[in-house]
């Protein structure tokens, strides 16, 4: 393990440290998908699989987590295994990340926290599953993910299969537009709907390959514009769950959450679990497929960025 010299020391894995020395492409990965996304040992298997997808596509993976107060940029296999089995791991976002580090805690990074850490480490690309956004009923609850504000201020390209389909996606897109975040769909005009490749929502922007996405990232930086860009990468059609099939399932899960008084941070895990049950596990299979697809695209974007002047 190698520790960087800075006001906030970052602990790099040997693999990531070598990639930095060689100016090789690096793709950041979040860790809440490991600690809060699926059970052990499947979470470890998927984490290893996604990291290998990035290596196979020509880049280096950097899974990010806070472990006993140290901000780790890249985990070795033992650390990955330990995290996959850890209990009571904090779920870190912008608001609580510093407190966890300062108090010597252990926490897994959400989209917002991973973007912050990636930027501190000089990593420009981050692949995830889906971003958070505006929750249904937000006009009353004001429940809006910190991910959206992070995209507006932290210069990292985030690859996702859209926003999580349990959210109010039209309002999510409106907030991103208000915040000046480029929302770029890859290869199609409709905005992807996470488990489904398409939706009835028009994507704000479209680009068709990794080279163009890398150039857009660099151009934004050259213009002095704050924030990153959201790359919406549709799940492969062969692995999607069609939107018309999912819509009544999501509605049923939301109705049950309302009836049981589930609110705040409890809403998302409740809905995802019920959708998993109602789709007989297909939602998780699709989730794994889209994360791997995003990782592969992230590696290609990172490889293109290496060849573009800063």
Binding site residues, as ranges?
91, 111, 143, 145-147
Tokens read off for 2: 């190698």
Name the active-site residue from 15, 136, 150, 164: 164
Query: How many Cβ atoms are within 10 Å of 23's Cβ, its own excluded?
Result: 8
Spatial distance between the Cα atoms of 86 and 22, rounded to a whole number of angstroms: 33
The alpha-helical segments, DSSP class H, found in 121-158 are 138-141, 146-153
Q: What does each C-alpha distance from 305 to 20, 111, 181, 218 come to in angstroms?
A: 14, 21, 19, 8
Type and span of the H or E element at 275: helix 267-278
Rg (C-alpha) for the chain, rounded Å, is 18
- Distance separating alpha carbons of residues 217 and 160, to the nearest angstrom: 15
DSSP class per residue in 70-125: EEEES--HHHHHHHHH-SS-EEE-TTTHHHHHHTT--EEE-HHHHHHHHHHTT--E
Widest Cα–Cα separation across the chain: 55
The DSSP bridge partners found for residue 29 are 63, 127
| 174 tagged catalytic | no
Distance of CA 213 to the CA centre of its chain: 17
Annotated binding site for substrate: 91, 111, 145-147
* 280 carries an active-site annotation: no
φ and ψ at 205, to 5 degrees?
A: -140, 160
Bridge partners (DSSP) listed for residue 90: 107
Token pair of 69 as six digits? 């107060």
Q: Give the three-class secondary structure for 210.
A: helix
Annotated active-site positions, please? 30, 164
């Amino acid at each position: 393990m190698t520790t960087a010299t800075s006001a906030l020391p970052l602990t790099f894995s040997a693999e990531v440290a070598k990639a930095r020395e060689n100016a090789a492409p690096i793709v950041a990965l979040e860790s809440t998908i490991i600690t809060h996304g699926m059970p052990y040992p499947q979470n470890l298997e998927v984490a290893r699989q996604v990291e290998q997808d990035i290596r196979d596509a020509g880049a280096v993976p950097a899974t990010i987590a806070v472990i006993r107060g140290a901000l780790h940029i890249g985990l070795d296999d033992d650390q990955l295994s330990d995290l996959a089995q850890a209990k009571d791991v904090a779920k870190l976002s912008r608001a609580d990340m510093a407190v966890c580090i300062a108090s010597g805690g252990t926490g897994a990074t959400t989209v917002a926290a991973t973007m912050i850490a990636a930027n501190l480490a000089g990593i420009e690309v981050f692949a995830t599953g889906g971003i958070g956004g505006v929750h249904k009923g937000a006009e009353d609850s004001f429940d809006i993910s910190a991910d959206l504000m992070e995209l507006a201020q932290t210069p990292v390209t985030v690859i996702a299969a859209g926003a999580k389909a349990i959210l109010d996606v039209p309002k999510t897109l409106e907030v991103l537009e208000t915040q000046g975040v480029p929302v770029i769909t890859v290869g199609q005009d409709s905005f992807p709907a996470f488990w489904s490749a398409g939706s009835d929502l028009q994507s704000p922007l479209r680009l068709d390959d990794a080279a163009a996405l890398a150039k857009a990232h660099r151009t934004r930086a050259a213009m002095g514009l704050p924030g990153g860009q959201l790359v919406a990468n549709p799940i492969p059609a062969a692995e999607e769950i069609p939107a018309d099939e999912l819509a009544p399932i999501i509605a049923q899960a939301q109705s049950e959450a309302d009836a049981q008084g589930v609110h705040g941070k409890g809403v998302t895990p409740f809905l995802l679990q019920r959708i998993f049950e109602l789709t007989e596990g297909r939602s998780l299979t699709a989730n794994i497929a889209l994360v791997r697809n995003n990782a592969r695209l992230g590696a290609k974007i990172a490889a293109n960025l290496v060849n573009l002047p800063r």
